[in-house]
Structure 1
Amino acid sequence: MQKRGYVRIGLSNEPPWTVIDADGQVGGAGPDLTHAVFQRMGVSELQGVLSTFGGLIPGLLAGRSDAISSGLFIQPGRCQAVAFSEPDLCDREAFLMKKDMPLALKTYRDLATDSSLQVGVPAGGTEEREALAAGVPASRLVPVPDGPSGMIMLLAGRIQVYSLPASSAQHLVDLWRGQKFSLVTVEDAPVMCAGTAFSPNAVDLRDAYDHVLAKLKADGTYDRILRAHGFDPSLARGHTREEFCRGKESL
């Protein structure tokens, strides 16, 4: 990788975790942090390999990318498939609703008790697992392919609640300033952390990445990158890869 001078990163466009602009330029908290780590490792160029969220791990295992840096939460099932770095991007869950909706929703359990609600969740995301565990039936969960689609579905009344990571929710509220949305942090959902994912055959590369990531956390580079994208850098410091790999089984 150092010899060829670039690293291929699997990405799914999910601002502010990952941002791909109209010219194909890659940014966002995940790619910017991953780029900084690999630069310290002597790899100067980052090449984005765009994928659907569900295609990220298959693409990595097929050799189409060298790593995934797209807000992939560390979960037990995924830990069996890929080699995660230590946590790098952590977030809480949130609900988005139209402000004119007379809803007092603070927990996934609240969603379960109101049978009239259709709940949008990122396709293949952690939110579906949390909602099902709280008793929301699968028939009321609506897969949402991306953030803008979720906002359109809210405005059209196809869903009444959109559940997604808080940083993603805030990014969408900022983009749709002309509309009135409420953002509520979910009270019964744990902090979730993502890590950069590597092939299970690339544990040495993962370990080298972790070593440099720890240095960036110590010298302030990590904090600067995360704050620039609206993330709280203190969240990752309270969690470990081992903790999440031992956690509840993912869907």
Structure 2
Amino acid sequence: MSRQDAGRGRSPLDRRGFLTRSALLGAAALTPAFVTACSRTEAGTGAPKGDADLLAKLRKQGFVRVGFAGEAPYGFRDGDALAGEAPTLHREIFTALGVRELRPTLTEFGTLIPGLLADRFDLVSAGMAITPERCAKVLFSEPEFISPTALMVREGNPKGLSDFASCVARGATVGVLTAAVEASYAKAAGVPDGSVKTLAKQQDGLDALLAGRIDAFALTGVSLRWLSRTNRGAAVQVGAPFVPVVDGVKQFSAGGAVFRLGATGLRDAFDRELARITGDPARYVRLVGRYGFTEREVPPRSLRTADLCAA
């Protein structure tokens, strides 16, 4: 899903930007706990020690811990089962890698990366958008899907909205998900900050639209199509997808799996299996077509994570 980091939370120490000598002495008094915490991570990466051999560990234990955010159609619970585009692809890939089970942890989208870095899970399985800001903190797989942006509007599209430029021209209020890239796309197009409303969940966007609190709900087209499908009869419609432009660069909303910075071996093995799936569009659609993904969402081979991270 095309999500972006929420604003960086700053602790009191972060705000001060330095530690006083007395604070450092106080920390030294906690040496056993402090040293234990530090010894669990690889120097310079923040990655838990042993990430270099993570795939071997996962094979031995028989499961991989995945974080997801409960957002259809990317990663969500369907009864007792973990469902959606990302878990379905990731289950296929990890089965090929010799890891039989995905063990899920549900969390808010904005806490997926912090949870990964805190070793609460081994990868993020939530259709997360690949952005330079995130690439500075974590490793992404190669793209597992692309999904251009779309607008959901009230039935009949009373304001004639088709993209962010039309929202600016007509003074429309645009709803976006908390921590979502659509907020930055709207800003780049000139939508005033006061006309962008953040919402916690997809359903909140549809409800706000029907209540007249927003004029359009911006999200990836595949997400909005799924939302409309699961709210049959709601007086809304989804417009044609469009590709936002930020600083002259087209934003295709490519998403992938997310790993800690030290987990390069696991990420590379994952990418090899992913390439076998995205290189076979028919197989791709067989796996995730039930969630609204089509051959249009298969990422082109020319779209590489390295380029998206450097954009």
Amino acid at match of 1:3: K
Residue aligning to 1:16: 73
Describe the superposition over 1:88-139 as per-residue Cα deviations: whole angstroms up to 9, x where unpaired: 0210111001114412112211112233x22110111110010000111111
Q: Are 1:241 and 2:305 an aligned pair?
A: yes
Matched, 1:50 2:106: yes
1:151 CA drift (Å): 1.1
- TM value normalised by structure 2: 0.75
The reply on whether 1:163 has 2:227 as its aligned counterpart is: no
- Of all paired residues, the percent bearing the same amino acid is 33
Q: Mean Cα displacement is larger for which, 34-43 or 117-126?
A: 117-126
Q: Deviations over 1:69-88 (max 9, x none)?
A: 10100000111111100000
Q: Are the equivalent residues in 2 in contact too, given 1:109–1:134 (CA < 8 A)?
A: yes
Q: Which residue of 2 aligns with 1:223?
A: 285
Q: Is the contact between residue 149 and residue 218 of structure 2 (CA under 8 Å) also seen in structure 1?
A: yes
Instruction: Count residues in correspondence.
Output: 245
In structure 2, the residue matched to 1:65 is 121
Aligned pairs for 1:8-157 (under 5 A) are: 8-23=65-80, 25-115=81-171, 117-157=172-212
CA–CA distance in structure 2, aligned partners of residues 186 and 233 of structure 1: 15
Shift of residue 188 of structure 1? Answer: 4.4
Q: Does 1:194 align with 2:255?
A: yes
Q: Matched residues in 2 for 1:173 and 1:19: separation?
A: 16
Instruction: Tell me, yes or no, if the aligned pair for 1:11 and 1:18 is still in contact at 8 Å.
Output: yes
Q: Which amino acid aligns with 2:101?
A: E
Q: Is the 8 A contact 1:30 1:89 kept in 2?
A: no
Report the CA distance between 1:18 and its aligned residue: 1.3
Between stretches 198-207 and 12-21, larger displacement belongs to 12-21
CA shift, 1:201, in A, is: 0.8
Q: Say what the alpha-carbon RMSD is for the aligned residues.
A: 1.5
Higher mean C-alpha deviation, range 13-22 or range 184-193: 184-193
- Matches of 1:221 and 1:208 in 2, distance apart? 19
State the Cα distance separating 1:43 from its structure 2 match. Answer: 0.2
Q: Is the partner of 2:265 in helix, strand or coil?
A: helix
> What corresponds to 2:19 in structure 1?
none
Are 1:90 and 1:232, in contact at CA under 8 Å, matched by a contact in 2?
no
Q: Which secondary structure does the structure 1 equivalent of 2:175 belong to?
A: strand
Which amino acid is the alignment partner of residue 81 of structure 1? K
Task: Provide the residue aligned with 1:2 in structure 2.
Answer: 59
**Distance change >3 Å, CA 142–CA 208, structure 1 → 2:** same
Task: Give the secondary-structure state (helix, strand or coil) at the position aligned to 1:237.
Answer: coil
